[in-house]
């Protein structure tokens, strides 16, 4: 049995609920590898080897040692290389990632992609911290700083979600990057890997956890019309 654990929903961020409702410590009870964002969309979260990292909107990377730091939305799983498929390539571009994994029959299952090695190019975006009253995710997405790095060594990690789960999460790929030297990280817009090893882990469980003790979440008006487009524009799930 393999499980991806998700706290909160992307739809909730579109509906302006960005308060931190789970701690890093609680997330790490459910996995050691994953992605997310921090309270008020204070940067991009990367979980790797049971540690949490933050890329802030100035482009700096922080190792989050305060395990009480909170997140409104995050996904995590236990990395199980022995129970995962080895990636069938060493070189890959984002634009042909899905095509090169077509034998894995991704489309109707949740999976985690993890690859480590040399990247000729990585292009990321980092969400900017917001204050209450929170704006919509879409408004935030329109002003996210972008960063690029060439010839960098690091880990690309994230998920593929089936189209039918667009709303709770980003349909398609949602990937983050963290460089080995902790100088570069973020939400991946594009990449070109030149010498990587990695795995694809398929999950048979999707565990959706909701912040039931958060009053704003309980009373929010979740607008469904236009949700797909707002998530696509902001979180950029790629097919």
Residues that bind Zn ion (CB under 5 A): 187
Burial 157-186 (b: 16+ CB within 10 A, else e): bbbbbbeebbbbbbbbbbbbbbbeeeebbb
Minimum gap (Å) between residue 187 Cβ and Zn ion:
3
d(CA 193, CA 196) in angstroms, rounded, equals: 6
State in angstroms the smallest separation of the CB of 44 from Zn ion. 6
- Residue nearer to Zn ion on the CB measure, 34 or 211: 34
Closer to Zn ion by Cβ: residue 175 or 200: 175
Three-state SS at 143: coil
In the bound state, the residue with its beta carbon closest to Zn ion is 187
> C-beta of 173: minimal distance to Zn ion in Å?
10
Would you put residue 90 in left (φ > 0), alpha (ψ -120 to 50) or beta?
alpha
**Nearest residue (CB) to Zn ion, 71 versus 196:** 71
Minimum CB distance to Zn ion smaller for 114 or for 187: 187
CB 31 within 8 A of CB 47: yes
Q: 229 in helix, strand or coil? A: helix
Please, what is the minimum distance in Å from the beta carbon of residue 100 to Zn ion?
22
């Amino acid at each position: 049995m393999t499980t991806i654990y998700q706290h909160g929903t992307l739809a909730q961020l579109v509906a302006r609920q960005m308060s931190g409702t789970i701690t890093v410590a609680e997330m790490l009870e459910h996995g050691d590898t994953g992605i997310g964002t921090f309270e008020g969309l204070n940067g991009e979260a990367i979980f790797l080897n049971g540690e949490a990292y933050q890329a802030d909107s100035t482009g700096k990377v922080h190792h989050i040692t305060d395990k009480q730091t909170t997140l409104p939305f995050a996904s995590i799983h236990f990395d199980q290389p022995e129970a995962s498929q080895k990636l069938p390539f060493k070189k890959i571009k984002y634009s042909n990632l899905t095509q090169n994994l077509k034998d894995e029959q991704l489309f109707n299952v949740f999976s985690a992609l993890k690859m480590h090695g040399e990247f000729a190019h990585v292009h990321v975006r980092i969400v900017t911290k917001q204050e209450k009253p929170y704006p919509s995710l879409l408004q935030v997405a329109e002003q996210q700083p972008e960063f690029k790095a060439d010839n960098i060594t690091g880990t690309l990690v994230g998920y593929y979600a089936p189209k039918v789960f667009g709303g709770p999460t980003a349909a398609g790929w949602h990937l983050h990057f963290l460089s080995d030297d902790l100088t570069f990280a973020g939400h991946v817009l594009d990449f070109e890997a030149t010498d990587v090893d990695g795995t694809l882990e398929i999950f048979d469980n999707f565990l959706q956890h909701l912040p039931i003790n958060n009053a704003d979440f309980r009373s929010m008006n979740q607008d469904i019309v236009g949700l797909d487009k707002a998530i696509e524009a902001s979180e950029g799930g790629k097919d």
